[in-house]
Each structure stands twice: as C-alpha cells, then as structure tokens.
Amino acid sequence: LIPFNLLFFSYVIQTIKGGGSNPQPFRLRSLANTGMGACFLSIVLYLANIQLPYVLAQSISMVGSMTAPLAMMLLGSFLMDTDWRGLIDRRMIAFTVIKMLVIPIGITLLLGQFVHNTYLLATCMAALATPSGNVIPLLAAIYNKEAYPVSVQGIAVTTAAAVVTMPLVAMATGLG
C-alpha cells in the first residue's frame, strides 16, 4: 500500500485538483497522513511480531468487516447522483473498454511471462479487472466539483460492465 499511498496523495490529488492556470506545488507534508501512518505502523507490528491485545485486534477486524458494505452503500448514494440518460457516450465506452478489458488482459498476459504461480496471477488479474473505486468521486466532491458527475458515471458504467468484463478477462487470460 505504500507505493499506492505515495502516488495517491501526491499525483492523484494534484490531478483531481486540476493544474489549470494556477497549479499548486506538491508539498511533502501531504504524504504525512493517516493512511501512510497505518501502513508504517502495520509494517512495524509485523516485523516486530507484536500481537495486539484481543480487544484492539477484534475492533480492527470489525471495522475491516464494514468496508465492503459501506462501499456498497456509498456506491448506491453515488448512483442517486447519476444522470442515467447521458450515462453512455463514446468517451465513457472507450474508458470502460480500456480500463476493464485492455489493461487487465494486457498486463495479466505480460505478467504471465514472468509469474508462474496461477493464484498470484489470478489475484493480479482480479485486482486489475475490478471497477473504478469509490474514492475518486469523494475526492472530486472535495477538490473538483466539475469532475464529480463524470467520476460517478465512470463508477456506474464500470460497475455495471464488470458483470460481463471480468469473466471475459478471466477467459482471455486463461485464468477462468
């Protein structure tokens, strides 16, 4: 998660804010956040083989168990903001095909040349073939209100398309 968080809290947020005519300079301070803190803390706990007290471990486990249901509720709230009539256009179809088919198939086939563990390859394929995440509309709502409708449309279309594209990716890569 550390490379993801570094990229996310530097490049992604700057991109969503929009460079425009007045780009904000990147601040190293933006990398000091709770996500990075949790990553480093988990590495320390793992490497030091520190067992958390039962109450704390169970609390963390319960919060982790809420992730999927809360993400689905958040997705449902985003879908209320979707303009269903203008949902499908050429750019959105191109984005969906590239994001849900071209990239997962291409990278999985490329990785297959180097990775021979089927489970690891299938995990990478599944991660690549999943729909767009809910965090982009959240950031767009905060940093760039003009991008919010498009980001919600991207999530709606890729989530609906995943029913068809994920099995296609699995079959095309020989992992299905």
Q: The tokens 């007045």 sit on which residue?
A: 22
**Where in the chain are the domains?**
1-50, 67-176
Residue 165: CA count within 13 A, CB half-sphere: 26
Q: Whole-model pTM above 0.85?
A: no
pLDDT tens for 13-48 read 777 777 555 566 667 776 777 777 888 888 899 999
**For 131-172, what is each residue's pLDDT tens digit?**
888 888 888 888 888 888 888 888 888 988 999 999 999 999
- Please give the Cα distance from 13 to 164 (Å, whole number): 31
Tokens of 174: 């020989």
Tell me the C-alpha to C-alpha distance, in Å, between residue 171 and each of 81, 105, 112, 117: 34, 10, 14, 17
**Separation between Cα atoms, residue 160 and residue 166, nearest integer Å:** 11
